[in-house]
Structure 1
Amino acid sequence: MMMIRPIEYRDLADLLTLASKSGIGLTSLPQDAATLSARIKRALKTWQGELPPSEQCYLFVLEDRERSRVVGICAIEVAIGLMEPWYSFRVSTQVHASKQLNVYKSVPMLFLSNDHTGHSELCTLFLDPDYRYGENGKLLSKVRLLFIAAFRKRFMQRLIAEMRGFSDEKGRSPFWESIGRHFFSIEFAKADYLSGIGQKAFIAELMPKHPLYIDFLSEDAQKVIGEVHPQTVPARRVLESEGLDYQGYVDIFDGGATLEAEIDKMRVVKHSRLVKVALTETPICLDAPSLLVANDNYQHYRALLVNTALYDDRLPINAASAAALGVEQGSMVRILPLTAQEKA
C-alpha cells in the first residue's frame, strides 16, 4: 500500500537516496544531509506551530508501507520571497517603432521579477523512478492540493509551481549556457546545487538587472523558454488539470515554466468534499473510480488512493485502508476523484 504522510526525522536516509536519483535541476532536493535535515526540522516546526508563515514549509513523503520505505517527496512553501528575494524572469515584449521609417516591431524580452513574492508554492516533487507507474505520481502531486483545500486559511491567495526546465542527458541546460554562464561563470550544476542548499546571495549579486533580448539568445535557448524537462511533463499535465497554468514566468536558471492560479478557483477547492467512512469486508473494486482520500487530521495527516464508489454518500473502504488513514466507521474523510481525462 502506498500512503502519504508528513515527513519525520527517520526519513533522512531515504531522502538522501532519493536526492541521489533526482539529477540536476531539482534545486529543492540537494544531495546534502545538513540541508535536508534542516528542512525536515523546519517542516516539523511548521506542523507544531512554531514558525511564522514566511518560514513555514509542509513536507510530505510517499511511503511504500510493505517495504517501510520512502519513495517520493513533495512540499508546500506557505509564503515565498519574504525572508529572501524570490526571482523569476517575466517573458514580455518591448515595442520598437519608427514613424519616419514606418517600422513597428514587438521584441520579446526577459525581465527580472519578484512578482511572486508572498505566494504559496508547490515544490520538491520527486518520485523514485522505480515507482513511476500506475497513479503514484498523481497521488504525490495532488495530495498537496487536497491538504491546501482542507486547511485553506493557512495558505495565501495565489499558488505557484516552478517546473523543472529542460536539460539534456548530460545535465546541460541551453538556457543556462545562453544566459547564466555569462553572468555567473560557473557550471549549471554548481549554481543549481548552491541554490538548493540555500546559498542564494549570488543570484542577487550577479543576475542582470536590465531586460534581456530573447532574440540574442541561442536558438536552442529560445526553444526551451517556458518548456519543462521531459520527466516533468506528466507533473505539469496533472497541475494544469487542476487549474494552474503558464502565465509568462520562467525559472532564471533553466527557463522552466512557472504555473500559477488563484487557490479558490482551483478544482480541488471547489470539488473536494467530506464524506463518512463505511467499513466493508468486500474487496475494493479495481474497476471503480480512483479517489484520493485524506483524513484531514492536521497533526497526523494521512492520504492514499482507493478504488471504490460512493454509496449513499458514504465511502466504502476496507479495514486496511481505514487503519492506514487512522479512521474508523463513521469518521469523516476528504475525497477528490481523479478526472476522466486523467484516467484516459
Structure 2
Amino acid sequence: MSALPAGRPFVRPVREDDLDSLLDLAGLTGGGMTNLPPDRATLAEKIARSEAALRAQITAPQDEFYLLVLESAQGQVVGTASLFSRLGAKWPFYSYKVSRVTHVSRDLERTFSTRILHLVNDFDGASEVGGLFLHPEARSGGLGALLARSRYMFIAQHRQRFGEVVIADLRGWVENGTSPFWDAVAGPFFGSGFLEADLHNAVHGNQFIADLMPRYPIYTSMLPEAARSAIGRPHESSVPALRMLQAEGFAHEGYCDIFDAGPTVQARTDRIRTFSLCRPVAAALPTLRTDEPRALLAQGQGAGFRVWQEAD
C-alpha cells in the first residue's frame, strides 16, 4: 500500500499496541461509555475482537465489532470510534420506544395525556455506530468530524459487512456520575448504581438486562421529574455528536437507551450522507487528489483501511 501523506491525522483500525493509549482515553470519559470502559482486560478483548473481524472473510453481517482510532500527526492515538455489524445476533438488543397515550373521563370532564415507555427489540439486525470519543485537546480542527465520518467510509469500503439500517445510541444525561433515569427505572431491579451496571454491561454483556429489566410499559408520569426530563436528552458532551449524526441524515424517532434514556437515532445505510456521496477514484497514493477542498479520502480494506482529510 502506498504511503499516506506525511504529517496528517488519519483514522485506522485499532492494533494490539494501542492498548495503553485506549486505557488512557477511557480514563478521560468520566464513565458511561460502554464501548470504551476503563478496564484493561476488556479493552484488550475488544482489540482482539476487532482484529479477528478484520481478518475474517465476511459475506453478510453476523456479530462483528470494529474499532477505529484517530492517530494524530505526531503519531499519538487521540480518539476512538466503533462499529457493530449486526445487533441482536448474540442476545436481543433492547431499547425503550416512547409513545403517547391519552385518557378521557367524560364524568370528570378531564383529559390526561402521558408518555409510555415500551421495552422493544426493534433494532435487532441493524448495524450500529458508536464509541465516538476524542481527547479533550483534540476537539478542534475538524478532527471530530473526521473520526465520526470515517465510520461511514469504512461501511462504504466494506458494504457487505453491514445491515440496511444503522443506529447510534447516544450517551444520556448524567449528573455527578449518576443517571436520574437509571435511579428511577432500572436501579431498584438491579440493586446497583448506574456506573456499576454500565461497566458490567461493557465487560460481561447485557444478558442481565433480559433477566431483570422490568418488561411492562412504564407510565412516565409516575417517574420523578428528573427522570422524565432525561428521556431522550443527550449528555452535554454528546450534543456535538448528535448534530453530526443529524447532518448525516439520522433521525430520532422516539427510541431511547434503557440505561440512561439517551436518544437512539437511525438512518437507512445507503442514505447516510457521507456514504451516499462516496465515489471511487482511480489513483494511487500519495498522488491522489480531488477537486474538492477538505474532501475525505479512504484507501484499503481490513487492517489496511485508512481515512484522512484532503488539505485545503
Question: Normalised by the size of structure 2, how large is the TM-score?
Answer: 0.90
Query: Alignment partner of 2:310: what SS?
Result: strand
5+ residue gaps, structure 2, are 1-7
The equivalent residue for 2:309 is 305
- Contact 1:175 / 1:253 at 8 angstroms: preserved in 2? yes
- Contact 2:31 / 2:37 at 8 angstroms: preserved in 1? no
Q: Determine if the alignment matches structure 1 residue 110 to structure 2 residue 117.
A: yes
In structure 2, C-alpha distance between the alignment counterparts of 1:104 and 1:276, rounded to whole Å:
64
**Alpha-carbon spacing, 1:199–1:149, altered in 2? closer, same or farther (3 Å):** closer
**Alpha-carbon spacing, 1:279–1:76, altered in 2? closer, same or farther (3 Å):** closer
How many residues were matched structurally? 302
Structure 1 consecutive aligned stretches of length 4 or more whose deviation exceeds 4 Å: 98-104, 276-281
In structure 2, C-alpha distance between the alignment counterparts of 1:63 and 1:37, rounded to whole Å:
18
The partner residue of 1:138 within 145, 149, 163 is 145
Question: Normalised by the size of structure 1, how large is the TM-score?
Answer: 0.82
Query: Alignment partner of 1:73: what SS?
Result: strand
In structure 2, C-alpha distance between the alignment counterparts of 1:54 and 1:153, rounded to whole Å:
11
Pick the structure with greater CA Rg: 1
5+ residue gaps, structure 1, are 309-344
In structure 2, C-alpha distance between the alignment counterparts of 1:28 and 1:280, rounded to whole Å:
33
Query: Alignment partner of 2:82: what SS?
Result: strand
The partner residue of 1:221 within 216, 223, 227 is 227
The equivalent residue for 1:55 is 63
Return the structure number with greater strand share: 1
Q: Deviations over 1:224-262 (max 9, x none)?
A: 211111111111111110011111110111110001011
Q: CA deviation at 1:85?
A: 1.7
In structure 2, C-alpha distance between the alignment counterparts of 1:279 and 1:137, rounded to whole Å:
24
CA RMSD of aligned residues (A): 2.2
- Contact 2:255 / 2:264 at 8 angstroms: preserved in 1? yes
How many percent identity over aligned positions? 38
Q: CA deviation at 1:172?
A: 1.9
Q: CA deviation at 1:279?
A: 7.7
Q: CA deviation at 1:136?
A: 0.7
Query: Alignment partner of 1:137: what SS?
Result: helix
- Contact 1:147 / 1:296 at 8 angstroms: preserved in 2? no
The equivalent residue for 1:24 is 31
Query: Alignment partner of 1:175: what SS?
Result: helix
Structure with more contact order per residue of length (Cα contacts < 8 Å, sep ≥ 6): 2
In structure 2, C-alpha distance between the alignment counterparts of 1:272 and 1:240, rounded to whole Å:
18
Supply the AA of the counterpart residue of 2:218. Answer: L
**Alpha-carbon spacing, 1:215–1:135, altered in 2? closer, same or farther (3 Å):** same
Q: Determine if the alignment matches structure 1 residue 36 to structure 2 residue 43.
A: yes
The equivalent residue for 2:72 is 64
Q: CA deviation at 1:294?
A: 0.8
The equivalent residue for 2:258 is 252
Q: CA deviation at 1:200?
A: 2.2
In structure 2, C-alpha distance between the alignment counterparts of 1:297 and 1:82, rounded to whole Å:
24
